């Protein structure tokens, strides 16, 4: 390919999707049981979340280093390909900044800055995954650098992704409750619907029952999906609840999900906890089958 798409492990696309679309991943890490473990090496999610439920102190997480990005970027540049490197929201991680600094190092080493584009997608998980697949679809078709970047922006502009968490406890314990606390106040039984922007985790609205939160997150998908657009559903340890939302949206929209992302993994899961349900909607025609 003349353009290589680089992403990070927090898209939670499946290994098959990563391989099929030619995406190169850089892994974030979980500081777990007194050691730092690359997220991509934690493949038994049931075991991880079983242990997470009983932990007194939550695992820490860490972004990739500049050196990790350079280990990926340098061989691509040496092979003569350009790079479009897309990363999840800078509002919740320094991953994007590490990628920017790696690009700056390449430029100092004499690489033309036009050969490397680093984008803050302002999204996370399945929404971020859709942006990656959009860019990678264009690259796989042989699109030039500018067109691959344009494909990413087209998905970013048309994408909405919301998620509802089962409990605020993990956000609170991880110190990431932030703006969410101002919405729910002391009402611990409230189940907020949230989204991710370049500013971080942002509340959308609050719902009082689980049944209502599943219906409401489907409502949002139906209300905001572009004409003929696609949708996805993602979860953390909640496959049956996710299937209810898939069935609901499929019935409403008359079509199945555009793709099936993997389950949300340890780096994001450690901060939100089991039970999360996410729904994303986006324009059609940007992701190749």
Rounded distance between C-alpha atoms, residue 284 and residue 139, angstroms = 17
β-pairing verdict for 200-207 and 191-197: antiparallel
SS3 (DSSP) at 86? strand
Instruction: Give the span between the Cα atoms of 214 and 165, in whole angstroms.
Output: 11
Mean per-residue pLDDT for 112-132?
97
Contact 77, 111 (CB under 8 A): yes
Q: Which CATH number fits domain 160-282: 3.30.930.10, 3.40.50.80, 3.30.1180.10, 2.40.50.140?
A: 3.30.1180.10
| DSSP class of 22 | T
pLDDT tens column, 54-95: 988 889 999 999 999 999 999 999 999 999 999 999 998 999
pLDDT at 185: 46
| Whether 162 contacts 278, CB under 8 Å | yes
CATH for 3-157? 3.40.50.10170
The Cα 58–Cα 281 span in angstroms is: 31
Residue limits of CATH 3.40.50.10170 in the chain: 3-157
Quote the pLDDT of residue 232: 98
Q: Which residues pair with 116 in a beta bridge?
A: 83
pLDDT digit string, tens, across residues 180-236: 554 554 455 677 899 988 888 888 888 888 789 999 999 999 999 999 999 999 999
d(CA 277, CA 71): 34
As beta bridge partners, residue 164 has: 193, 277
| CA dist., res. 161 & res. 179, Å (int) | 18
Q: Say how far apart CA 113 and CA 41 lie, in whole Å.
A: 32
Give the whole-angstrom CA distance, residue 217 versus residue 245: 8
* Helix, strand, or coil (residue 23): strand
Buried b (16+ CB within 10 A) or exposed e, 159-181: bbbbbbbbebebbebbeebeebe
What percent of the chain lies above the pLDDT cut of 90?
A: 79
Give the neighbor-by-neighbor strand order of the sheet with 160-164: 200-207, 191-197, 160-164, 277-282, 230-235
DSSP SS3 for 274: coil
* CA 286/CA 158 separation, integer angstroms: 10
The 3-state DSSP class for residue 288 equals coil
Q: What's residue 181's pLDDT?
A: 54
Residue limits of CATH 3.30.1180.10 in the chain: 160-282
Whole-prediction pTM value? 0.94
């Amino acid at each position: 390919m003349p353009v290589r798409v680089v992403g990070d492990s927090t898209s939670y696309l499946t290994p098959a999707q990563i391989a099929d679309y030619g995406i190169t991943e850089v892994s974030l890490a979980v500081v777990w049981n007194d050691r730092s473990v690359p997220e991509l090496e934690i493949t038994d999610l049931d075991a991880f979340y079983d242990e997470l439920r009983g932990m007194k102190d939550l695992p820490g997480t860490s972004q990739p280093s500049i050196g990790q990005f350079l280990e990926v970027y340098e061989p691509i540049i040496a092979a003569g390909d350009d790079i479009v490197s897309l990363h999840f929201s800078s509002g919740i991680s320094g991953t994007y900044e590490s990628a920017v600094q790696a690009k700056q190092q390449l430029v100092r080493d004499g690489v033309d800055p036009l050969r490397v584009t680093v984008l803050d997608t302002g999204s996370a998980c399945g929404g971020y995954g859709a942006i990656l697949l959009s860019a990678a679809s264009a690259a796989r078709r042989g699109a030039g650098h500018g067109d691959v970047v344009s494909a990413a922006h087209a998905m970013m502009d048309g994408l909405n992704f919301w998620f509802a968490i089962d409990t605020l406890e993990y956000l609170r314990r991880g110190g990431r409750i932030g703006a969410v606390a101002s919405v729910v106040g002391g009402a611990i039984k409230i189940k907020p619907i949230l989204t991710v922007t370049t500013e971080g985790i942002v509340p959308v609205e609050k719902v009082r029952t689980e049944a209502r939160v599943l219906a409401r997150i489907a409502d949002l998908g139906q209300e905001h999906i572009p004409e003929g657009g696609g949708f996805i559903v993602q979860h953390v340890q909640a496959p049956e609840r996710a299937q209810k939302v898939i069935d609901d949206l499929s019935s409403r929209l008359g079509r199945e999900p555009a793709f099936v992302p993997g389950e949300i993994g340890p780096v994001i899961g450690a901060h939100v906890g089991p039970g999360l349900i996410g729904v994303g909607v986006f324009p059609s025609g940007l992701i190749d089958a």
